[in-house]
Amino acid sequence: MEDTPSENNIDISIVVPVYNEEESLPELEKAISKALSADYSYEIIFVDDGSSDKSWQQVLTMGAKKDFIHGIALSHNYGKSVALQAGFEKAQGKYVVTMDADLQDDPNEVPEMVQILKDGYDLVSGWKKERHDPISKTIPSKFFNFVTRKVAGIELHDFNCGLKAYRAEVVKNIYLYGELHRYIPMLAKREGYTRITEKVVTHHPRKYGKTKFGLSRFMNGFLDLITITFVQRYLQKPMHFFGTVGVLLLLAGGGINLYMALLKFVYGQGIGDRPLLFLGILLMVVGVQFFSTGLLGEMINKNNVKDQKPRIREVI
Ligand code: UDP
Ligand code: MG
């Protein structure tokens, strides 16, 4: 299919999700411009995901000086997926590139990625082969990628890489919410965009600020679980809560029942009147209930999800 014609003849839209990255933004803009300005027309869309630092002021300052810089300020922190989705909707280029704001992704990779798209691919995912992140991130990430690769049937090594390039049509035909940014290649494939490949990309250590994801974020966020944030978050993603509880209960119940089976069949003990047996069965039954409640919630929610647009505070 032809590339989406764009009124403004913009070759590349760079979409950058921004959550408290004030120090990086001017440097990032310079690096992008240096990499692209000679050969391409481009725009940069910074999507401020409810930053509490001066990120948005930075975007406004840059946008006032340079007309290829655009910004969207979300009313509060919705998460990376929602930020990207807002950027995708505004993007006007023939090709859309996503890039993290923290200078870990290298804009110099963009021309080659775009060339791969021109050669006929729908999606090029970056592969941080030599990743500069702490081991607490790289090991879970290896596991995540292994599982996703198997489930998705897409041979990518680094699904979570923030640096990805798409033919515009791809991002216009998928819809991101929750934590779906990790699964864009799967969503694209489902829509029929099967020409998916990867490119090894340079990855820099984080220069300013700190990561918004990872163990510490989880721990710090723990208290939030009890607050309304928790309720709101899982109102949108029922499966995250009910599904997790369900799986945990199933595992616990399954473990107990396995132990019971061992007692009976290996050690020949009678287990008919053991309370533990009842507990095991109970946990499994409740686990299945929880899981299917989550699934049901998610299915009902899918239909409403497009109505849950983020509230945009300002656009430039
Ligand atoms: N980000 C965002 N909203 C969030 C968390 C992160 O827009 O709620 C942005 C963040 O500013 C960065 C990108 O998503 O541009 C990736 O975040 P981060 O660098 O913290 O993740 P990591 O590289 O450590 O996986
Ligand atoms: Mg990062």
What's the ipTM? 0.98
The reported pLDDT for the residue numbered 215 is 58
As a 3-state breakdown, the chain gives helix, strand, coil percent values, each rounded to 5, of 50, 15, 35
Q: From CA 183, how far away is CA 122, in angstroms rounded?
A: 15
Which ligand is nearest the CA of 100, by number? 1
Q: Does residue 162 have its Cβ closer than 6 Å to ligand 1? A: yes
Which CATH number does 12-234 carry? 3.90.550.10
Q: What is the pLDDT of residues 281-310, one digit of tens each?
A: 999 999 999 999 988 888 887 766 666 688
Which ligand is nearest the CA of 99, by number? 1
Res. 79: pLDDT tops 70: yes
Q: From CA 195, how far away is CA 190, in angstroms rounded?
A: 12
Q: Does residue 202 have its Cβ closer than 6 Å to ligand 1? A: no
Q: What is the pLDDT of residues 255-283, one digit of tens each?
A: 999 999 999 999 999 888 889 999 999 99
Nearest residue to 201 (alpha-carbon basis) of 114, 143, 125, 138 = 125
Q: Does residue 83 have its Cβ closer than 6 Å to ligand 1? A: yes
Res. 232: pLDDT tops 80: no
Res. 58: pLDDT tops 70: yes
Is pTM, for the whole model, over 0.95?
A: no
Q: So where are the chain's domains?
A: 12-234, 238-307
Question: What's the whole-number average pLDDT of the chain?
Answer: 88
The reported pLDDT for the residue numbered 233 is 52
Of the two residues 272 and 62, the one the predictor is more confident about is: 62
Nearest residue to 35 (alpha-carbon basis) of 128, 87, 105 = 105
The reported pLDDT for the residue numbered 218 is 43
What is the mean predicted confidence (pLDDT) over 172-177? 89
Cα pseudo-dihedral 209, 212, 217, 221, rounded to 10: 110
Q: Does residue 18 have its Cβ closer than 6 Å to ligand 1? A: yes
Nearest atom in ligand 1 to 83's CA = 7
Confidence category of residue 239, pLDDT binned at 50, 70, 90? confident
Q: From CA 107, how far away is CA 219, in angstroms rounded?
A: 32
Cα of 75 from ligand 2 centre, angstroms: 22
Confidence category of residue 18, pLDDT binned at 50, 70, 90? very high
The number of beta carbons lying within 10 Å of the beta carbon of residue 107 is 21
